[in-house]
Structure 1
Amino acid sequence: MAIFGLWVINKAGGLVYQRNIGDGLPGLTSNEYLVLAGTLHGIHAITSRLSPTGSSSGAHTIEGEAFKMTILLTATGTKFVLLTSVVEPTADSVLQKVYEIYSDAVMKNPFHTPEMPIRSEAFDSRITALIG
């Protein structure tokens, strides 16, 4: 799999989890990641209003020349974003598994405050086992 990164963005557009996988992404500061997450949140909100048929949940995939962003929007408004190579065929299924891990390791944790940064060793270790 050519997966470069994983982001979890809360419903307000704040980056609550960010993980680089491998050497595919340039080294950005934490501030730059926060700006990128907020920008993506805005783009996603705009694309949800652009549908000519009326209702849309926004962009699901954004492709560049050398990368693809696959976005999973949950019922609570949390967005899971997987940054991969353009030809990665399993991005949707990986995001579904990440969401399941999030549900089990983070949302069932009585010490986690919703919409706040994810600080869970169980989540990190299960993401490592899934993605690397």
Structure 2
Amino acid sequence: MSDGRVEAPKRSSLQTCSGNAAKVVFALLVINKAGGLIYNRNFAPGLQQLNSNDYLILAGTFHGIHAISRSLSPVAPPPAPPGNRANHATGIQSLESSHFRLTCFQTPTGTKFLLFTSPEQPNTDQIARRCYDIYADYVMTNPFYSLEMPIRVDKFDRALAAYLVRP
């Protein structure tokens, strides 16, 4: 039952990711390991809205391009130190245009967090990682959430808004 309050996350305190009007987070998409869109949300008002089909196509297309790009590296990854897991190619980590930057954070389980920001936004990899931490705190600890299914967790929505929406 929701009482409208946002609880503090379990790992670390929330802080806004942007203090400058030119720096902004536009949207966050979460893609499961099979390439299905399980979460999408816009954080900047006034953006052109895509329909649900467009979001599904975007998620599937990015998943495919990411998978292909993992095998296109011209340099082989260095061998892992003894006792550690093998290094794997990471695929696309960032894509930048004159109007936005797309940052991809892939978890060890294959879930991808796609963060759309302004090109000037610093530390987008850390912001995407923090979104993953919020996901781990609120979605993965929710006993009613089924893995790989669409995310419908109010506390997750509120915690993301508290972190990503400018004051």
* 3-state DSSP of counterpart to 1:4: strand
Partners of 1:98 and 1:81 in 2: CA distance:
10
RMSD over equivalenced CA pairs, Å: 1.1
Shift of 1:25: 3.6
Q: Which of 79, 83, 107 is the aligned partner of 2:140?
A: 107
* Structure 1: runs of 5 or more not aligned: none
Quickly say closer, same or farther: Cα 1:110–1:71, change in 2 above 3 A. Answer: same
Contact 1:9-1:15 at 8 Å conserved across structures: yes
Counterparts in 2 of 1:59-98, with a 5 A limit?
59-98=92-131
Counterparts in 2 of 1:1-132, with a 5 A limit?
1=18, 2-23=24-45, 25-55=47-77, 56-132=89-165
> Between the two proteins, what is the percent identity of the paired residues?
49
- Count of paired positions: 132
TM-score, normalised on structure 1?
0.95
Structure number with the higher strand fraction is 1
* Higher-RCO chain (CA-CA 8 Å, sequence separation at least 6): 2
Contact 2:43-2:161 at 8 Å conserved across structures: no
Quickly say closer, same or farther: Cα 1:4–1:57, change in 2 above 3 A. Answer: same
Q: Which amino acid aligns with 2:25?
A: I
Structure number with the higher helix fraction is 1
Contact 1:101-1:126 at 8 Å conserved across structures: yes
Partners of 2:45 and 2:163 in 1: CA distance:
17
Partners of 1:121 and 1:27 in 2: CA distance:
22
* Structure 2: runs of 5 or more not aligned: 1-17, 19-23, 78-88
Structure with higher Rg: it is 2
Partners of 2:41 and 2:125 in 1: CA distance:
17
